[in-house]
Structure 1
Amino acid sequence: MDSHPETLIVTGALGGAGRWIVDRLAEEPYTIVAVDRDLPTGTPPDGVDFRAVDLVDAGETTDLVLSVDPDAIVHLAAIPDPLDHAGERVYRNNVLSTYNVLNAAGRVGADVTWTSSESAYGFPFAESVRTPDVLPIEEHHPLRPADPYGLSKVSGEETAKTVVRRDGISVCSIRPSWVQYPGEYFVTELREAFDIDVLAADPEGAVGGGPGNYWSYVDVRDLADQIARSLTIDIDGHEAVHCHAQDNYLGEETTDLFAALLGEVPEPCSLSGEESAFSMAKARDLLGWTPSHDWRSESAVDGPDFGAP
């Protein structure tokens, strides 16, 4: 990653996380071209140039990238889960848009930070509970996607590696957890309804049980800060990095949760207390990033004053 990019393209700029990330990056001395399918309503940050582009269209994407000639691209655009759209649509949209962005980035020599997902491991959205090979889960854990969304993210990471080999750019694939927004943490209702004894009795039917991401989450402000940080770090080739809060969202010992869910704690395991099932060590060592927000300190704050029509 270029340590001092001047011009950025940010895709998915009107999405839930995208608006916060554009707002955060607008605090830096970048020239930002923000991209989505539509132009924004409301009051976008001063100096951000919005463009309406269909990234599934290779011609539109290439034309955008060639005309802007950015130093770096932050690629956020995607259908964010497999629940509300046909699987084929999720996979096709995410794979084609990511391929088009990465391919064009490589051709102009622009480094890329993009949002992959913890779904690449195959834990969320699986039809039955899956057991991790080790705890905490690190970025080298095998990727075994179980749904079209997770599969699209694995395809994106493989595309990133291909473009890195071909064009010599760097790509940071961030694997965020379930993104939460200040003043509307969805995990709050799950925590209030959770009962660990019910989880042990009915692992797949209990609130907070069944297929999932092992009770992990991340505040959107921490995701925005990690992306901003990635743009200032020299990355060699392709690197995948977790972006999670430090703890689980239930306020229980994480090993107790695994024991209730699985009947045993996966080994080897070096988790302690309420520590997240996903390791933040690489994010700390590579990017110098640690999360600053958690459910205990969560409160409403004013968010971006612009969005999709």
Structure 2
Amino acid sequence: MKLVVTGATGGVGSWIVDHFADEGHDVLGLDLERPSSERENATFLAADLTDQGQAWETVLEHDPDAMVHAAGIPRMGERTGTETFLTNVETTYHVFEAAGRTGADVVWTSSESLYGMPFAAEPFLPDYLPIDEDHPMRPEDGYGTSKLVGEELAAKTVRKHDVSVVSIRPSWVQYPGEYVATDESEAFDPATAEPAGHFWSYVDVRDVVSIVDAALEADVDGHEAYHAMAAENYLGRPTAETIEAVFGDLPEECALEGDQSAFSTAKARRDLNWEPAHSWREAETESVEGPAFLEK
């Protein structure tokens, strides 16, 4: 398969490039800068995908079978909200349009932030737990809103070009041996903790890679969205009890058991035959080599 991966030197994108290159696919990696090293089965090109001409030229010249779009500003707090929104929306618009014009199916990284809770000025509870892909979306920030607009662009691309687009909605991505989330959990006290709009959910980067792989393999018709979260929270505490202790309440409809994630991945299990394989309990101390082409 000929594959274009955007955000190829970023956290998630670099692991995606590594995986598909290992599988023997012909991968073109796009990012603002090329990596310091080469990689068998992968070539890299520096391109600013907020520029329509650069985005279209790189994609149309490569003529891929599929695209994985992982480029963009990954969270609030790195740039202004305005720049975050505009960068992510412009990049996504140009990438989707280029993919549609070349007939390439797309898998891209959306976010659980489009529901609105993670970056809300005043954190609020979901309508029900666990949260599924049909939950109302109420973002107030530039990042979450950029992902909501991105999914509308996905639907538009499907209508206009008759390709498929899969939106993956991961939670806080963690890397084996570098689980930042568990550093937070060591000092966690529900009596003093601040409300967390991701409800202490996370996902291992390797599980993000595997759901991208599953989505590309699946016969998806149109636009579909799927959660990508670990099966449990990263605190090692009962999820419902923790949410109630920190937020002071629970939704009327709550069907969480033990440390079960606040986000359901049942749709991905049903449609993609995917489920998370990694837990913080083993992964936080695992020694796993990341993409070698990023080494200085």
TM-score bracket for the superposition, by shorter chain length: over 0.9
Render the CA deviation track for 1:277-300: whole Å, top value 9, x for unaligned: 000101111111111111111123
Gaps of 5+ in 1: 1-5, 200-205
State whether structure 2 residue 38 is matched by structure 1 residue 10.
Answer: no
> Of 14, 24, 30, which aligns to 2:25?
30
Instruction: Tell me the CA shift for residue 212 of structure 1.
Output: 2.5
In the alignment, what sits opposite 2:226?
Answer: 241
Q: Letter of the 2:166 partner, please give it.
A: C
Q: Does 1:20 align with 2:15?
A: yes
**Distance in 2 between the 1:300 and 1:18 partners?**
20
8 Å Cα contact 2:36/2:294 also seen in 1: yes
Q: Which range is displaced more, 80-89 or 277-286?
A: 80-89
CA distance in 2, matches of 1:39, 1:265: 47
Matching residue of 2:252:
267
Q: Which amino acid aligns with 1:301?
A: V
The CA deviation string for residues 6-46 of structure 1, in whole angstroms up to 9 with x for no partner, is 1110000000111111111112232111111111113x431
Query: CA shift at 1:269, angstroms?
Result: 1.4
Does the 8 Å contact 2:117/2:198 carry over to 1?
A: yes
- Aligned partner of 1:161: which letter? A
Against the structure 1 CA distance between its residues 211 and 252, is the aligned structure 2 distance closer, same or farther, given a 3 Å change threshold? closer
* TM-score normalised by structure 1 residue count: 0.92
One-letter identity of the residue aligned with 1:190? E
Shift of 1:308: 8.5
Which residue type is aligned with residue 43 of structure 2? D
Match for residue 63 of structure 2 among 61, 66, 69: 69
- Residues 113 and 174, structure 1, Cα contact 8 Å, conserved in 2: yes
Residue of structure 1 equivalent to 2:264? 279
What CA distance in whole angstroms lies between the structure 2 residues aligned with 1:80 and 1:31?
A: 26
Counterparts of 2:182 and 2:74, CA distance in 1: 21
Which one of 252, 255, 280 corresponds to residue 295 of structure 1? 280
Q: Can you give the 5+ residue segments of structure 2 that lack an aligned partner in the other structure?
A: none
**Separation in 2, partners of 1:226, 1:74:** 12
Moved over 4 A (4+): none
Q: How does 1:25-174 map to 2 (within 5 A)?
A: 25-42=20-37, 44-174=38-168
1:191-202 equivalences in 2 (<5 Å): 191-196=185-190, 198-199=191-192
Distance 2:197 2:294 in 1: 29
Write the distance in 2 (CA, Å) between the matches of 1:280 and 1:210.
23
CA–CA separation in structure 2 for the residues paired with 1:171 and 1:308: 32
SS of 1:113's partner is strand
| C-alpha displacement of 1:65 | 1.4
For each residue in 1:54-102, what CA deviation from the matched residue of structure 2 results, as whole angstroms up to 9, or x when unmatched?
1000011111111011111000001011202111111111000000000
Q: RMSD between aligned alpha carbons?
A: 1.2
C-alpha separation between the residues in 2 aligned to 1:210 and 1:271? 18
Task: Identify the structure with bigger relative contact order (alpha carbons < 8 Å, sequence gap 6+).
Answer: 1
Identity %: 50
Matches within 5 A, 1:170-209: 170-196=164-190, 198-199=191-192, 206=193, 209=194
User: How many residues of Structure 1 are paired with residues of Structure 2 in the alignment?
Assistant: 294
- Where 2:182 maps in the other structure, the secondary structure is helix
Aligned AA (1:101) = V
Are 1:70 and 1:110, in contact at CA under 8 Å, matched by a contact in 2? yes
